[in-house]
């Protein structure tokens, strides 16, 4: 089960300039120093997220969690994103980390061949058993196909299973109820299972 991230850190006075959401909004509004103040507040969560991703990779993967955090953060800093809040930031960070790993896998020449990665059914994959994943490139391509048919269901998988967001946080990002998230995840898992086996 994904670890639920904690609430935004706040000062006793609730200073908007010290919360993750406040700093994201300041960053969005062009405050270049907001990023420097944001890093210490989100680094541990980003590292936990990267650890989750890296646990799903093969044992001899040359990319480490810290390098994944750094690469993802460099991409996030350059991204033109209308940041909303902490949950939105983590959702975009999860998508960015997945893109980094997929790009890395493709660069290593494993696209379509599976390379050294073990191919497994979705029954043993992250959406059923977080300890195992099918080939990352293959899963990414399946998620892209699902997104073309139903973007919300694909995003629910990405936010909940890859991003570690709770049902409630996923619902907030997608602007739906937690019950809808539960239904979307169930249907998306079935769709992915049928397209990956």
Higher-pLDDT residue of 12 and 39 is 39
* CA-to-CA separations, 32 to 45, 64, 72, 91, 161, in angstroms, rounded: 21, 28, 18, 22, 32
pLDDT in the model for residue 146: 92
pLDDT in the model for residue 81: 82
Structural domain includes residue 6: no
Per-residue pLDDT at 114 exceeds 60: no
Structural domain includes residue 119: yes
Average pLDDT of the chain is: 76
Burial letters for 125-139: b for 16+ Cβ neighbours within 10 Å, e otherwise? bbbeeeebbbbbbbb
Overall domain count for the chain: 1
Structural domain includes residue 73: yes
Structural domain includes residue 53: yes
Q: By percentage, how much of the chain surpasses pLDDT 90?
A: 13
Task: Determine the structural domain holding residue 55 and report its residue range.
Answer: 20-196
Summarize the confidence of residues 73-90 as an average pLDDT.
83
170, containing H or E segment = helix 167-174
pLDDT in tens, 59-73: 666 778 888 888 888
């Amino acid at each position: 089960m994904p670890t639920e991230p904690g609430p935004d850190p706040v000062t006793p006075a609730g200073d908007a300039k010290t919360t993750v959401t406040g700093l994201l909004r300041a960053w969005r509004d062009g405050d270049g120093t907001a990023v420097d103040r944001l890093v210490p507040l989100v680094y541990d969560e980003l590292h936990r997220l990267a650890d989750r991703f890296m646990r799903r990779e093969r044992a001899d993967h040359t990319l480490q969690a810290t390098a994944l955090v750094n690469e993802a953060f460099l991409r996030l800093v350059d991204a033109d994103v209308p940041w909303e809040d902490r949950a939105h930031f983590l959702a975009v960070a999860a998508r960015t980390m997945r893109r980094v790993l997929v790009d890395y896998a493709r660069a290593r020449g494993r696209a379509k061949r599976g390379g050294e990665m073990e191919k497994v059914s979705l029954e043993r994959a992250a959406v059923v058993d977080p300890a195992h994943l099918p080939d990352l490139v293959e899963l990414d391509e399946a998620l892209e196909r699902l997104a073309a048919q139903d973007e919300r269901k694909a995003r629910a998988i990405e936010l909940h299973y890859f991003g570690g967001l709770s049902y409630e946080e996923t619902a907030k990002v997608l602007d739906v109820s937690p019950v809808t998230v539960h239904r979307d995840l169930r249907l998306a898992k079935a769709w992915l299972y049928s397209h990956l086996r």
